[in-house]
């Protein structure tokens, strides 16, 4: 139902603009609601703890251990939410378990409210509390220009996840040669630099598991994957990260 509502609303908006253009010769770009507003309907979302019970959750933006240094706006519980379609992550989880790992989730759906929190933080160039941990090689003033901070995030579309592998034998995260949310070339999936053979192999294991189960990578973050056939490619959601948001689904 949510998909039908979004589609019909966008079509209605387009029809109104086209009619307006016909009345004048001034060119106009069709603006859909998805481009300027955030959708608060969580009816197509589920909790990963329910849909993918083998995952481990370490929701960094609910904690203060993140590049901002504070709990992020919109994260009201340390849970992970995704669209029902992206909950096909269970197949990737099953593959990881067969290989002796579990998937550890750092972030999944991210409200637009949280993205705005990032933007406001980035604009405050005096706040560098977490620089030594997450962006020691960069001046905070370049984070917008280099694409580390943006006004929109694929996470807000509900089908993107940040994750790593947890080794069930050692009971530790595997060594990826770099931490989650590190701003720099070290985080690029194809970076080799001073990485060990084991670290490179670990990145490839995670990448292969996700690719084989319908998720596509990002070329600047080894931990970031999006469902290739995501259901809401142009819609940005803004309901809080808490179990109550999806309990009725």
Active site residue 98: no
β strands within the chain, DSSP E: 45-47, 56-57, 81-83, 101-107, 160-167, 172-173, 215-218, 221-227
**CA gap 179, 177 in Å, rounded:** 7
Provide the 10 A C-beta neighbour count for residue 136. Answer: 11
End-to-end CA distance of the chain: 12
Nearest residue to 156 via CA among 5, 71, 3, 40: 40
Angle subtended at Cα 25 by Cα 20 and Cα 29, rounded to the nearest 5 degrees: 60
3-state secondary structure of 142: helix
Nearest residue to 125 via CA among 139, 113, 114: 139
Q: DSSP characters for 153-220?
A: -GGGGT-EEEEEEEETTTTEE---SS-TT--SGGGSTT--TT--HHHHHHHHHHHHHHHTTTEEEETT
Q: Which of 77, 151, 185, 221 is catalytic?
A: 221
Q: What amino acid positions are annotated as catalytic residues?
A: 221
């Amino acid at each position: 139902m949510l998909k039908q509502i979004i589609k019909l609303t966008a079509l209605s908006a387009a029809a109104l603009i086209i009619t307006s253009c016909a009345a004048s010769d001034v060119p106009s770009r069709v603006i859909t609601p998805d481009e300027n507003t955030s959708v608060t309907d969580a009816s197509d979302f589920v909790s990963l703890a329910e849909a993918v019970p083998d995952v481990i959750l370490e929701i960094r933006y609910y904690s203060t251990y993140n590049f901002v240094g504070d709990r992020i706006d919109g994260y009201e519980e340390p849970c992970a939410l995704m669209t029902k379609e992206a909950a096909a992550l269970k197949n990737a989880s099953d593959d990881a378990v067969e290989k002796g790992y579990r998937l550890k989730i750092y972030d999944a759906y991210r409200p637009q409210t949280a993205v705005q929190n990032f933007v406001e933080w980035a604009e405050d160039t005096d706040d560098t509390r977490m620089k030594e941990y997450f962006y020691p090689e960069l001046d905070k003033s370049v984070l917008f220009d280099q694409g580390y901070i943006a006004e929109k995030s694929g996470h807000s579309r509900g089908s993107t996840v940040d994750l790593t592998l947890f080794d069930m034998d050692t009971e530790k995260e595997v060594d990826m040669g770099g931490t989650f949310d590190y701003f720099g070339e070290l985080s690029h999936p194809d970076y080799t630099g001073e990485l060990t053979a084991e670290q490179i192999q670990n990145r490839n294991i995670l990448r292969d598991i996700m690719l084989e189960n319908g998720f596509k990578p990002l070329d600047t973050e080894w931990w970031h994957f999006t469902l290739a056939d995501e259901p809401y490619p142009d819609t940005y959601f803004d309901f809080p990260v808490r179990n109550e948001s999806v309990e009725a689904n």
